[in-house]
Amino acid sequence: MSQQNENKKKIILTGDRPTGRLHLGHYIGSLANRVRLQHECQQNILIADMQALTDHAEDPKLVRESVLQLGFDYLSVGIDPQISTILIQSMVPEISELTMYYLNLVTVARLEKNPTVKDEMKQRGFSRSVPAGFLMYPISQAADITAFKANLVPVGADQLPVLEQVNEIVRAFNRIYKTNALVEAEGLVSEVSRLPGINGKSKMGKSLGNCIYLSDSTDEVKKKVFEAYTDPNHIKVDDPGKVEGNMVFVYLDAFASDKKKVQELKEHYRRGGLGDVAVKNYLVEVLENFLTPIRTKRKELEKDPAQVMKILKQGTERARAIAVQTLKDAKEAMNIIY
């Protein structure tokens, strides 16, 4: 059996929390993979608006507006709604009901020990004041994954502990209720590391103000590139420069198709005689070549937001039909269908 035919059996669950537009880090970390995988697997892309509210409960307007922004971004990068199912989490109530049942299979102590949850709590400054919804993120994700019978979940390495807990819930449910209604999921770890922020500090993140968004204008892209962190000791053009940790070269490695030219630029920069302005202008050119078709497609989509929302709702309807059956199977196993 060919690898492609084998992959056709894979049901994928992936997605994002809607809290704004998507950026280059999202593309490198997940979007490019989704565009590729949609031709090989049955893919479900979840707009996790309920999970976004776990740390944005006081700003539901941001979450609501961001749902449509994600729709624009998904479609503009090449996600095809004819072969990928894009759905809105809150419009599938079966996910919430499954979450409630799974809550009884996990202890608070186990949730608090999850390293991914601990790290994200630390990033947000939570301690004992953590919202209960945020703490139960792995349980909510278990409902997301199992509702659609997903057996493959693209994740970063930092998310593997969450997936491990998801599978613990699946095994506990199937054991306790003597069923095979739920399916365990395998993690597909991206080979591409997270893209750092343009300032060289941490990963690219909305709250950190170090993003280049997929929808940024030409002027915005150029402004941000020219603010990029390079080598602070490369003061004069003739000075030898450091490539490692230099964000311009990090981004060229990620997006430039002419790898030979990038290597030549690195060698020139290291020995001196190549200024930051020249390499930054080249990066602007590279990013513009990459972003222009995405930006053009997005502008077309923005002319008819109702049509994009219709696509999201149609995908949600298709996905919900699967979730309804999963919930029925789970409730039959628990003997609570009345």
Helix (H, G, I), strand (E, B) or coil at 130: coil
Cα 17 from chain centroid (whole Å): 8
Domain ranges (residues) in the chain: 3-195+305-334, 216-299
Instruction: Report the amino acid identity of residue 218.
Output: T
> Inter-axis angle of helices 259-271 and 247-255, to 10 degrees?
160
- pLDDT tens track for 308-323: 999 999 999 999 999 9
The confidence score (pLDDT) of residue 30 equals 87
Predicted local confidence at residue 55, as pLDDT: 84
CA distance 87 to 49: 10
* Regions in the chain scoring below 70 on pLDDT: 1-9, 191-193, 207-208
Q: Of 75, 93, 73, 91, nearest to 38 (Cα)?
A: 75
Give residue 200's pLDDT. 87
The neighbouring-strand residues paired with 187 are: 153
Going by C-alpha positions, the residue among 158, 191, 159 that lies closest to residue 28 is 191
pLDDT value, residue 193: 63
Whether the CA torsion 110, 111, 116, 120 is positive or negative: it is negative
pLDDT reported for residue 1: 38
Selection from 54, 23, 32, 11 nearest residue 210 by Cα: 23
For residue 2, what pLDDT is reported? 44
| 147, 182 contact by CB (below 8 A) | no
Q: Do domains 3-195+305-334 and 216-299 have the same CATH topology?
A: no
| pLDDT tens per residue, range 85-102 | 999 999 999 999 999 999
Q: Using N-to-C axis directions, what is the helix angle for 305-334 and 276-302, rounded to 10°?
A: 80
Coil vs helix vs strand at 66: helix
CATH 3.40.50.620 assigned to domain 3-195+305-334? The reply is yes
CA separation for the pair 288, 225 (Å, rounded): 11
Tokens 């004041």, residue?
129
Q: Which CATH class, in words, describes the domain spanning 216-299?
A: mainly alpha
